[in-house]
Structure 1
Amino acid sequence: MKLYPDTNTVFCFSGNCPKNGKAIDAIQFIQDKENLSKHEAIKKAQTLIGAITQQAAPKPIIQPETLGDIFQKLRPSFYSSGKARAYAESRSIYNAKLETGYDNGTHYGKLKNCIIFPLKDRENNILSFYGRNIESKGKDNRHFYATNRKGL
């Protein structure tokens, strides 16, 4: 008996084989070898395929980034940006106790060049962001709200 993986067939050369001289598919092979009905052979093939698939290394699950995760990335940027701190001081909103972040344009499109303030619930969970663009000259392009990751 010879297996041909490219065509997914088996060819039996033995005189004892009931399919002597005929190419058969994998389902027919299982059906003949295990003495099963077509339906049972298909179920057996599914089981074999599942066993092979389950043995493969699982792919790592990528957790979606939460607003809290995003803020933790943006918070240090405020303190390292002289431009953001100077703007906050000029508006009298610079306070070391105030939770503030800054997106210098490398992270989230809508919040580019914005000082970020997290808006929280009573349990201290960040529900949304308020962003104040410090470079925009137009009145309509200065204020942004983002209520979820997709809004960024």
Structure 2
Amino acid sequence: MTATQPPVTAHHFSMRFSSTPRGARLARRLCEHRLDTWGIPYGSDAHDVVTLVAAELCANAVRHGRVAGRDFHVLLTFAPAVGTVRIEVSDTRGERLPHIPSVAPQDGPADGGRGLLLVEALADRWGCSPRAEGGPGKTVWAECAVPRLT
């Protein structure tokens, strides 16, 4: 008799959103809900970290990756056996690649500049690649470790 391994289960959420602040907020809220549904509960450290990273990537897609009339796409994947959540946000501006500012913005009011610093600090890995489905643009992704579910 041979031992069989249980099937690898991965959860996926995928949706397109309008490239507007409202679209970015909706994407964040749906990611929050999906994480909770997958057993990463509201208010947990893992939930808060993944939600913040997703919110920053979505906001950047709207602010820096927007092309009039084009949506951005979110793919959220959770592999419980591995304990990793991957967030992928694709937009249609391939010429505007993300980068971390070499100097942190000065303290005080600012319109932005801290988003990728937060992603860098909170995510275990992050990067940028050409859109997997082809077409113009890029995909900015981040991976966050979460406690393994039993």
Report the TM range for the smaller structure's normalisation.
under 0.3
Q: Which has the higher helix share?
A: 1
Q: Which has the higher strand share?
A: 2
